A and B are shown apart, each in its own frame.
Chain A
Amino acid sequence: MTTEKFSALEPLVHYLKLEGERPYLCGSRCQSCGHTFVGERQVCANCTSRDRMISVQLAETGRLYDFTVVYRSFPGVKTPFVDAIVDLDDGSHLKGTLLNVDPDPNADLYDLPVTVVYREAHPVNADGKQYFSYFFVPAAEA
């Protein structure tokens, strides 16, 4: 996937950005309380400070905090898949799909080290457009 021309694709969500051909997750950090948020914001939802947010690129490594295996989804979506909540190493928290694992709800995935990767994505209602998104994979495989 390293040869992917990401600039020819649309980012699936607003907090996915491109620096040249390199995708990254955009975040913001409060210089008052230190909390790191996914996406851009002006005011801190935690400590309510104004004008203390700085833009950051989010960490691309973290640990799986929580997960579920989704068996029934909206029409056209391939199941089962692992829906994961990951604590990134910069203290932010990100939801995403965990690839390259057996979708077994009894697997001990809690605290699994994961890496963020970027791939072409195929939304069920893409309507002819081409997208890219982020995914999680077990850290050992990245």
Chain B
Amino acid sequence: MSDVYIVGIDMIKFGRYPDRTVPSLAAEAALLALDDAGLGIKDMQALFCGNLGQASGMVGQRMLTEIGQTGIPVTNVANACATGATAFRDAWMAIKAGVYDTVLAVGVEQMGKGLLGGGAGVSTEGIIGSGTMPAMFAHIGMEHTRKYGTTFAQFAQVAVKNHFHSTMNPKSMYRVETPIETVMNSEMIAYPNTKLMCSVNVDGSAAAVLMSAKKMRELGLSDRAVRIRASEMSSNPFEERQLAMPDFSGATRVAARNAYEQAGIGPEDIHLIELHDCFATAELVHYENLGICAAGDAGALIDSGATQLGGRIPVNVSGGLLSKGHPLGATGIANLYEVATHLRGNAGQRQVNGARLGLTHVVGGGPGMGTACAIHILEKV
């Protein structure tokens, strides 16, 4: 089976667009990605469209009414916070299977403000603990503290780093540096996650044009192509406590192991990572799950500065979900955009110098739901 390439990829600036519609946000990113590829909607043979908030609302077809109804097959995708990456992987699989040569993948979300989580029916909130996302990810941090003594300040440092990175990203929702005192003294949501250690609910969209190797060469697009070295997904394997507390680690470890194997490389070969920092506590746990440090060493790794721009393995130089924002269905493709931009050498002030291999990671899920994880490894051509 031949390789699959990204030949066009882009995202809109994440922000709040209450006057827009979900299909119009999707259309804007789709047109940006098509422009980046130098192609048009008539060149696309299929569309995979990821969105969570209107999962039953045929967002892909509605988007095509705004940019061209060419009659191509549309698959609407929903998979929690892995929605965009799932749409991207579906496009990759369709080309890998030899069904199409050129496929468009879009991720889009329009969100309100405030706490996510909870479920339908009578509320158990406060009575049976909390069903909020910040509380779920607080547990993940506190478990790390129990096992390894990781401190509030080490978790807070993740937010300091990612908010600093976002000052160099014009497409980030926030671009404000936050010293550690500011992070630690902002409103405590669920210990140890303060407000500045929680990702931002925003509106956003991102899109990618994927292409077979044969078609890419035929059209002479190698100057803008980025090779997809690995595309992997997983769900949560059984872990004994996961019905009581969320677990995003098991699924991440499965997908990471398979992705490194598919690419024929190890974590030491990766030059930058965009990982799912929905909360500051999550980023440290995923350092270990993705194998960039040993179990228990994540606190020391953030302290060392290795994951900051200029360090050994920069993580979330886009600003991450914490600062760039987390429009659920768009996040997966936005992470791919960030890594692809570095591999093309176009990341400007925040460029990771010499980047040839990069990894993207997203996980989605909720209380009592389970986990979807997607990992991609991209390579400079």
Q: Report the separation of the CA atoms of residues A129 and B123 in the bound assembly, to the nearest whole angstrom.
A: 12
CB-based contact A133/B126 at 8 Å: no
CB-based contact B132/A73 at 8 Å: yes
Kindly list 17 other residue pairs between chains A and B, CB separation below 8 angstroms, not including A66-B146, A72-B189, A123-B125.
A12-B122, A37-B243, A65-B241, A66-B142, A66-B143, A68-B135, A68-B138, A69-B191, A70-B132, A70-B134, A72-B115, A73-B130, A83-B138, A85-B245, A110-B146, A121-B127, A129-B122
**B187 at the A interface (CB under 8 A):** yes
Q: Report the separation of the CA atoms of residues A122 and B127 in the bound assembly, to the nearest whole angstrom.
A: 8
CB-based contact B126/A78 at 8 Å: yes
**B244 at the A interface (CB under 8 A):** yes
Range of interface residues on A (Cβ < 8 Å): 35 or more
Q: Report the separation of the CA atoms of residues A126 and B124 in the bound assembly, to the nearest whole angstrom.
A: 10
CB-based contact B190/A83 at 8 Å: yes
Q: Report the separation of the CA atoms of residues A38 and B128 in the bound assembly, to the nearest whole angstrom.
A: 14
Chain B residues whose C-beta falls within 8 Å of the C-beta of A131 in the assembled complex:
122
Residues 63-79 of chain A: 1 if any B CB is under 8 Å from the residue's CB, otherwise 0? Answer: 00111111111100111
Q: How many inter-chain contacts with C-beta < 8 Å in the A-B complex?
A: 128
Chain A residues whose C-beta falls within 8 Å of the C-beta of B245 in the assembled complex:
66, 85, 93, 95
Within 8 A of A (CB), among B116-153: 118, 122-130, 132, 134-135, 138-139, 141-143, 146
CB-based contact B130/A71 at 8 Å: no
Chain B residues whose C-beta falls within 8 Å of the C-beta of A121 in the assembled complex:
127
Chain A residues whose C-beta falls within 8 Å of the C-beta of B241 in the assembled complex:
65, 85, 87, 93
Chain B residues whose C-beta falls within 8 Å of the C-beta of A12 in the assembled complex:
122, 124, 127-128
Q: How far is the CB of A2 from chain B (nearest CB, A)?
A: 20
The listed residue with most B CB atoms (<10 A of its CB), out of A65, A72, A127, A129, is: A72
CB-based contact B127/A95 at 8 Å: no
CB-based contact B238/A123 at 8 Å: no
Chain B residues whose C-beta falls within 8 Å of the C-beta of A85 in the assembled complex:
129, 139, 241, 244-245
Chain A residues whose C-beta falls within 8 Å of the C-beta of B132 in the assembled complex:
70, 72-74
- Nearest B residue to A79 via CB reads B126
**A139 at the B interface (CB under 8 A):** no
**B188 at the A interface (CB under 8 A):** yes
Q: Report the separation of the CA atoms of residues A83 and B187 in the bound assembly, to the nearest whole angstrom.
A: 18
Q: Report the separation of the CA atoms of residues A63 and B29 in the bound assembly, to the nearest whole angstrom.
A: 50
CB-based contact A97/B126 at 8 Å: yes
Chain A residues whose C-beta falls within 8 Å of the C-beta of B188 in the assembled complex:
69, 71-72
Of the candidates A87, A96, A126, which one forms a contact with B129 in the assembled complex, judged by CB atoms under 8 Å apart?
Answer: A96
CB-based contact A105/B192 at 8 Å: yes
Q: Report the separation of the CA atoms of residues A124 and B245 in the bound assembly, to the nearest whole angstrom.
A: 23
**B218 at the A interface (CB under 8 A):** no
